[in-house]
Amino acid sequence: MSHRNKQPARHPPIMEPKVFRRLLVLACISFMLIWLIDESSGIISQYDAAAYPICICAFAAIYVASRYSSASWQNNLHLLTYLIVAGYLISTSIWHHIGSNALFSNAAQWLGLNYVIAYLFLEVKRAASTTILILAATLIGHYVVLIQNHGLEDTIGVVLNIAVAHIVYIILLWTVVRLRVKAAQANTRINLLENYAYVDLLTGILNRRGMEKVFDELGIDQIKTGSQRYALMIIDIDYFKQVNDQFGHAMGDKILTKVAAKLNRTIRPEDVLGRWGGEEFVVLTLNRTPQEVLALAEQLRFGISQLSLEDVSDITVSIGIGFSDLAKTRQEVFTIADSNLYEAKQSGRDSVRCSI
Ligand SMILES: Nc1nc2c(ncn2[C@@H]2O[C@H](COP(=O)(O)OP(=O)(O)OP(=O)(O)O)[C@@H](O)[C@H]2O)c(=O)[nH]1
């Protein structure tokens, strides 16, 4: 769980560039192998003898382009790769169906790959429209070459056969991908709800539950004295009831938000901030010396005392600190911080107290 809010990526990539490049390497190797097999068995056609090296060079060039192009260009490279593969598979199958070339061909059996690769490489909507175009090109291309050497009935029979098989491919793939998208959307919603459960909706920082989750994730209770040390600060806004009474609850909410934002800006990324409840915040710091913790607490106290919001200018906080060196458990550290906070309040507020 992130301790600070992050902006989600606006256009998440369909496929990691690294995975895409691995697939390009796989495509190069596959084409080389088939080329080698066709050559050694003597069944290589004139068409494939020219098409194999062209495809291999194109994949290699796209591999290089993918290494040096921006994230937004990766999707265009996916489409280009797809069009090369689909273009090759359709054209080789059509070529092998031309009367004089049709002595022996296993090209048609690969045509189903066009649909699988479309859903692998392209975003769902793009894949759906592209596969319809590819299906149309496959049917028209095969019809045009078959009708020249066969009767209308036979040609339509073969083309219908291809059409039915390919439509089944498309529907099955589309269904599988839709289910995957729906599952991903449900996961996103679950993550969002889970995040809501850990975030204070007024201030946008972690709530008490979120803080406790971070404590558990960091194994705070298991941290032994003398190894990784930590400190807890309890930060309490002074005379907050009076602010509410005098300026209203809505202004109180604005102050809470402003104080949280100031604390969040002042701590380091590795420190953890949360709203413990009401007008009380907690900061967890790791591996700072007591002097550094005290300096940070003073910086936080001073920063808050400089805040002003419309008519409210004298916003102050009292801070109590507890160090892990003086306690065995997190609860004990909290108790120490709490009694130091009490002392800070007793001594007139707008101050920091610790036990070292
Ligand atoms: N506006 C607003 N007020 C809140 C919220 N949560 C708690 N409070 C108020 O915070 C006030 C806390 O008051 P007290 O516990 O008496 O503390 P205090 O007035 O700050 O006095 P000291 O802590 O002793 O300086 C109460 O009036 C609560 O109603 C909130 O989310 N929004």
Q: What is the ipTM of this complex?
A: 0.97
What digits encode the pLDDT tens for the residues 79-122?
Answer: 899 999 999 999 988 888 886 666 555 667 788 889 988 888 78
- Report if residue 10 sits inside a domain: no
Is residue 112 located within the same domain as residue 221?
no
In a domain, 203, yes or no: no
pLDDT confidence band for 70 (50 / 70 / 90):
confident
| 326 domain residue, yes or no | yes
- pTM summary value: 0.58
Give buried/exposed letters for 8-36 (b at 16+ CB in 10 A, else e): eeeeeebbebeebbebbeebbeebeeebe
- 295 falls within a domain: yes
Check pLDDT > 60 for residue 9.
no
Task: Give the residue whose CA is nearest to atom 18 of ligand 1.
Answer: 239
pLDDT in tens, 180-221: 888 888 888 888 888 889 999 999 999 999 999 998 888 877
Ligand 1 near 240 CB (within 6 A): yes
Distance, in Å, from the CA atom of 140 to the CA atom of 134, rounded to the nearest integer, reads: 10
26-59 confidence digits (pLDDT tens): 999 999 999 999 899 887 888 899 999 999 999 9
Euclidean distance between CA atoms 89 and 110, whole angstroms: 7
Q: Is the CB of 4 under 6 A from ligand 1?
A: no
On whether both 23 and 127 belong to a single domain, the answer is: yes
Q: CB of 200 closer than 6 A to ligand 1?
A: no
Please indicate, yes or no, whether residues 187 and 336 belong to a single structural domain of this protein.
Answer: no
Domain count, the chain: 2
Rounded to the nearest whole angstrom, what is the distance from the C-alpha of residue 162 to the centroid of ligand 1? 73
278 lines ligand 1 (CB under 6 A): yes
Ligand 1 neighbourhood includes 281 CB (under 6 angstroms): no
Is residue 1 assigned to a domain? no
Q: Compute, in angstroms, the gap from residue 247 CA to the centroid of ligand 1.
A: 13
Query: Is 68 part of any domain?
Result: yes
Q: Which of 161, 162, 166 is nearest to 114 (CA)?
A: 166
Instruction: State which ligand 1 atom lies nearest to the alpha carbon of 277.
Output: 6
> Which domain covers residue 134, as residue numbers?
17-194
Q: Is there a domain that residue 6 lies in?
A: no
Residues 214 and 189 in one domain: no
196 alpha carbon – ligand 1 mean position (Å): 23
Percentage with pLDDT > 90 across the chain: 55
Same-domain check for residues 295 and 236: yes
Residue 226 predicted with pLDDT over 60: no
